[in-house]
Amino acid sequence: MSKILEIFNTMEYGPAPEAPDAVKAWLDEHGRKFGLFINNEWVTPKGAKFYSSINPSNGELLAETTQAGQKEVDAAVGAAREAFKTWSKTPGVTRARYLYAIARNLQKHSRLLAVLESMDNGKPIRESRDIDVPLLARHFYYYAGWAQLMETELRDYQPVGVVGQIIPWNFPLLMLAWKIAPAIAMGNTVVLKPASYTRLTALLFAEIVAEAGLPAGVVNVITGSSSAGSMIVEHPDVDKIAFTGSTDVGRTLRKQTAGSGKKLSLELGGKSPFVVFDDADLDGAVEGVVDAIWFNQGQVCCAGSRLIVQENVAGKFIQKLKARMEHMRVGDPLDKAIDMGAIVDQSQWDTIDGWVKTGIAEGGECFQPNIALPEKGLFYKPTLITGLDPAAATVQEEIFGPVLVSLTFRTPSEAIELANNTRYGLAASVWSDNINLALDVASKIKAGSVWVNCTNQFDGASGFGGYRESGYGREGGREGLFEYLRPTWMDRPRPEFVLDEKKKWGEHVPTLPTQPTVARANGHSLPPIDRTPKMYIGGKQVRPDGAYTSSVLSAKGKLIGQVGDGNRKDIRDAVEAAHAAHVAKPGWAMRHGYNRSQILYFIAENLDARNAEFVKRIVEMTGRTQKSAQAEVDASVERLFTYAAWADKYGGSVQETTLRGITVAVNEPVGVIGIACPDEMPLLGFVSLMAPAIARGNTVVMIPSQKYPLSAMDFYQVLDTSDVPGGVVNIVTGDRDHLVKTLVQHEDVDSLWYFGSAEGSYHVENESAANMKRTWTGYGLPRDWLDREQGEGHEFLHEATQVKNIWVPTGE
Ligand code: NAP
């Protein structure tokens, strides 16, 4: 009786432990030793090395798992390749049945999965049971639907092939679902490598999938260290790499796959802002912070780890937050009544602690509540560091632990500036009771997911992924499908090139005067009136900075014009102009689609008015027939019409997530795009790339065909008469790779499209790793620009946009 009274008076939670017995029985059944899961069978290589999987909450050895080597990776890729032959041909409706069966089977084993996840990773059972595992099943149900619909809704696409998938340890099951479900739904087969700290649930998952009857080889699970991951990445028979993990490893993978023709999607780190305005429900926002940063011990890529509070309520808010922190419960992950479990590994614990020490050294004031931690196990208190400078390393770098830093702001524009003051762009939370303000801020924060008055919302129906150094590609939703698809007309690119080690890529000696093979024949003895096109930057014709010129010869070797030989400075000026046109108020991106479409129609109209002149120019430059040149000009006009049409029809969609409210997927422009055009079709190639980019609100720096630049130079006169604001389209002529090198290294260029050589494509992809720019390269392979699918398919719009999902709860 006195005990009940005591509990009533203190209102303390008692322990509510989840039993580990079923997990232990499963581990025992496997003799606490696991092989690799290849072709629906357990494979233990001869002389295999093992790795100990440890429960981080108590240090207990859970099981030994295999360290795969090259032979095993080859076997898994081989199994996936073999299975691809039939799985890719299996009708979508049949694949849907399999995904549905997997989802059902996952639900049947949900408790086992949740308990094992908590034991292996250290996360609270409340989270693995109520978030990770339900979302795991949800993704398979969601993508079962897309498998069903693929043949009707995605008929211009085919699967990519064998996909290598590498995942981190913070959401082992969820990350696996994000990757495997869309991949196999679209007819791909998979080799998955879980992170070393958390290998066990992927192995249990493999068994559950096999039990559901998935054909052998469709899903293979390889355990191993980072070197096994690297072997998957390097494997010539892998067609796509899907990676989730740190930005540094993402960078390595970008370099490793450069020039290979493998598709690559990268879901990387973050340092997401959590913005609180003075009119927000402060108590609600405090609960939001708890979910944002202490969910999964803060080991969340999109954790709201930078609190940005309006100055006039900051004191009050921090006080409330500290009071709430005093009531947080840290303890046994299997206790249903705890808020935070264990940190995944000692090394991660040390990293977190190191960051807290750095924060203090940087002048921050560190607060940790006076709460008890279990004596044994890797536990860390929820931590708040205030008083840091926005440039402090602790504010800028991802800590990946339960550590929140806080800053203050006065005005909405200051809040946006602080929120965007990061190299990352994964997610953000905005708290305000003023819907206009909240949505305005949401639209201006550069991040793939923005949660309004909520945080850490996920669902199969909504894409997730980053801007900037948080990576590229989306997982989830319809947008997540495109990572696992290739247009039907396109084979896996297998570019062939030999790297010229002696010549530094992009090096260029300014061009000297050219001796035409045929003397000028202009019909009389006077020299012709000179018309040397200049660069086109910021809406003005400007002379090349270096004052060098290169000659353009006709197909017959006759001098037909001269163009500026651009250099680094010209590119920098062009990027500056493009950047200014993008961010100016109202910038190009902020114009409504109707206005952009009108301008594109106007360009088409003015191009058509000079149709004959452009035909003549193409014939003169390329030596092609009049008919062929005419087809190119007509197609260019038509293409402008296509993108005038798309300018107001690709804004995004409403996602049907499980949120009670609205989730809107907005197709935002990427920003400043550098575009190196192909030589095949000097006008059509230029227009086909410029038009989708500007239709969707990007500004561009165009490098026209190096061989045939004159059509593009004639084109700027068309732009000049078509109301295109200065800086939206900038044109720099010269040596393609020399100019591209500066573009790809430029911090203010958000994406690079390159349709030059295979070797150039390699360099572009390789150099892009520096700031994780998006790239789109042609690998020097032929593309029929006249063909509608190849010259104006969905791919172009996809490359011209990035999806931001804004989540707005409604109702109670
Ligand atoms: P990590 O060190 O980058 O490792 C991720 C995965 O890559 C692991 O499986 C790892 O294997 C493997 N790996 C490491 N080096 C490799 C290499 N050179 N080649 C091929 N594979 C390699 O990241 P983590 O510490 O596991 O996870 C934390 C990071 O993931 C954080 O930065 C977090 O923000 C990010 N993350 C991002 C998202 C997102 O959706 N954007 C979601 C979750 C997490 P081993 O474990 O065997 O070393």
What's the confidence (pLDDT) of residue 524?
52
Residues near 489 by beta carbon (within 8 Å), at least 6 away in sequence:
787, 789, 790
Q: How far apart are CA 140 and CA 588, in angstroms?
A: 40
**Which of 506, 505, 508, 550 shows the shortest CA–CA distance to 733?**
550
CA–CA separation, 386 vs 360, rounded Å? Answer: 9
Contact 244, 175 (CB under 8 A): yes
Which mutation among 166, 174, 230, 251 tests ligand 1's pocket best, with the greatest number of atoms within 8 A of CB? 166
Q: Does ligand 1 lie within 6 Å of residue 170's CB atom? A: yes
Identify whether the C-beta of residue 764 lies closer than 8 Å to the C-beta of residue 744.
yes
| Residue 2 in this model has a pLDDT that exceeds 70 | no
Is a pLDDT exceeding 90 seen at residue 220? yes
The predicted-structure confidence for 133-157, as pLDDT tens digits, reads as follows: 999 999 999 999 999 999 999 999 9
- At residue 525, does pLDDT exceed 60? no
DSSP 5-54: HHHHHH-PPPP-BPP-HHHHHHHHHTTTEE-EEETTEEE--TT-EEEEEE
Mean per-residue pLDDT for 205-214?
97
pLDDT tens-digit map of 554-596: 888 888 888 999 999 999 999 999 999 998 877 999 999 999 9
pLDDT at 15: 80
Residue 527 pLDDT grade (very low, low, confident, very high; cuts 50, 70, 90)? low
User: Of 216, 182, 399, nearest to 306 (Cα)?
Assistant: 399
- Is the CB of 193 within 6 Å of ligand 1? yes
The CA 246 to ligand 1 mean position distance, Å, reads 5
Strands 699-703 and 729-731: parallel
How many angstroms is it from 195 CA to the middle of ligand 1?
Answer: 7
Cβ of 238 closer than 6 Å to ligand 1, yes or no, is no
DSSP-derived 3-state class of residue 300: coil
Identify the residue whose C-alpha is closest to ligand 1 atom 23: 245
Average pLDDT of span 736-742: 97
Q: Which atom belonging to ligand 1 lies closest to the Cα atom of 194?
A: 9
Residue 281 pLDDT more than 60?
yes
Residue 267 is among the residues annotated as catalytic for this protein: yes
Report helix, strand and coil shares of the chain as percent, to nearest 5: 40, 20, 40
pLDDT at position 556: 87
Q: Which residues contact 372 (CB under 8 A, 6 or more apart)?
A: none
Backbone Cα Rg of the chain: 29
Determine whether the shortest distance from the Cβ of 408 to ligand 1 is under 6 A. Answer: no
Cα separation, 109 vs 783, whole angstroms: 48
Helix 133-153 to helix 110-121 angle, to the nearest 10 degrees?
120
Buried b (16+ CB within 10 A) or exposed e, 594-629: eebbbbbbbbbbbbbebeeebbebbbbbbebeeeeb
Catalytic residue among 72, 127, 207, 301: 301
Confidence band, pLDDT 50/70/90 cuts, at residue 503: confident
Name 56's Cβ contacts closer than 8 Å, sequence gap at least 6. 121, 122, 197, 342, 343, 344, 345, 377, 378
Whether residue 202 has its Cβ less than 6 Å from ligand 1? no
Exposed e or buried b for every residue in 280-293, given b needs 16+ CB within 10 A?
Answer: bebeebbebbbbbb
56, two tokens: 């981080």
Ligand 1 centre to CA of 190 (Å) is: 18
- Across 720-736, average pLDDT: 96
User: Helices 626-646 and 684-695, interaxial angle, to 10°?
Assistant: 0
Residue 659 pLDDT grade (very low, low, confident, very high; cuts 50, 70, 90) = very high
Q: What are phi and psi of 428, to 5 degrees?
A: -160, 155
Tell me, what's the pLDDT at 65?
98
How big is the CA angle at 198 (ends 194 and 200), to the nearest 5 degrees? 85
Q: How confident is the model at residue 415 (pLDDT cuts 50, 70, 90)?
A: very high
Sequence-distant (≥ 6) Cβ neighbours of residue 313 within 8 angstroms: 276, 278, 282
Q: What is the pLDDT of residues 586-616, one digit of tens each?
A: 799 999 999 999 999 999 999 999 999 999 9
Mean residue pLDDT of the chain comes to: 95
Question: What pLDDT does residue 151 have?
Answer: 97
Burial class (CB in 10 A: 0-12, 13-18, 19+), 520: exposed
Nearest to 407 by CA among 45, 399, 396, 220: 396
Tokens of 18: 């989840």
The reported pLDDT for the residue numbered 812 is 62
DSSP H helical ranges for 533-592? 568-583
Are β-strands 41-43 and 36-38 bridged in parallel, bridged antiparallel, or unpaired?
antiparallel
**Mean pLDDT, rounded, for 438-457:** 98
- The DSSP secondary-structure symbol of 129 reads I
How far is 566 from 732, CA to CA, in rounded Å? 6
pLDDT exceeds 80 at position 534: yes
Report pLDDT digits (tens) over 663-696: 999 999 999 999 999 999 999 999 999 999 999 9
Region 272-290: mean pLDDT is 98
Ligand 1 centre to CA of 374 (Å) is 28
Query: What distance in angstroms lies between residue 137's CA and the mean position of ligand 1's atoms?
Result: 23
| Banded pLDDT at 55 (limits 50, 70, 90) | very high
Best mutation site among 67, 249, 272 for ligand 1 pocket (most ligand atoms within 8 Å of CB)? 249
Distance CA 752, CA 744 (A): 6
- Binned at pLDDT 50, 70 and 90, residue 526 comes out as low
CB-ligand 1 contact for 270 (6 Å cutoff): yes
Q: Is the CB of 364 under 6 A from ligand 1?
A: no
Classify burial at 423, counting beta carbons within 10 Å of its beta carbon; exposed 0-12, middle 13-18, buried 19 or more.
middle
Distance CA 630, CA 543 (A): 31
Answer for the pair 268, 772: CB distance below 8 angstroms, yes or no: yes
Q: Which residue has the tokens 């009786």?
A: 1
Instruction: Determine what percent of the chain is predicted with pLDDT higher than 90.
Output: 90
Catalytic annotation on 812? no
Mean pLDDT of 450-471: 97
> Ligand 1 centroid to 226 CA: how many Å?
9
Q: What is the pLDDT of residue 583?
A: 85
CA distance 723 to 672: 19
| Token pair recorded at residue 91 | 């009708």
In this structure, what is the dihedral angle of CA atoms 221, 227, 229, 232, given to the nearest 10 degrees? -90
Note the helical H segments in 584-625.
593-609, 611-622
**pLDDT value for 63:** 98
Q: Where are the alpha helices (DSSP H) in 219-305?
A: 226-234, 247-257, 282-294
SS3 754: strand
What are the beta bridge partners of residue 300? none
The burial class, CB within 10 Å (0-12 / 13-18 / 19+), for 630 is middle
267 lines ligand 1 (CB under 6 A): yes
Band of residue 770 on the pLDDT scale cut at 50, 70, 90: very high
pLDDT of residue 531: 66
User: Ligand 1 center to residue 69 CA distance, Å?
Assistant: 19
Q: With bands split at pLDDT 50, 70 and 90, how would you rate the model's confidence at 807?
A: very high
- Does ligand 1 come within 6 angstroms of the Cβ of 159? no
How many CB atoms sit inside 10 A of residue 234's CB?
16
Catalytic residue from among 127, 267, 792, 799: 267
Measuring CA to CA, how many Å separate 353 from each of 196, 269, 372, 482, 660? 21, 19, 17, 40, 38
Is residue 351 within 6 Å of ligand 1 at its C-beta?
A: no
Q: How far apart are CA 263 and CA 283, in angstroms?
A: 45
Q: How far is the CA of 677 from the centre of ligand 1 (A)?
A: 35
Residue 541 banded pLDDT, cuts 50, 70, 90: very high
* Cβ-contact 416, 391 below 8 angstroms: no
Enter the pTM of the model: 0.96
Ligand 1, atom 12, lies closest to the CA of 226
Please state the rounded mean pLDDT for residues 261-279: 98
Model confidence at 513: pLDDT above 90: no
Residues with Cβ within 8 Å of residue 35, at least 6 apart in sequence:
42, 43, 44, 45, 48, 66
Bridge partners of 774, per DSSP, are: 751
- Note whether 277 and 299 are within 8 A (CB): no
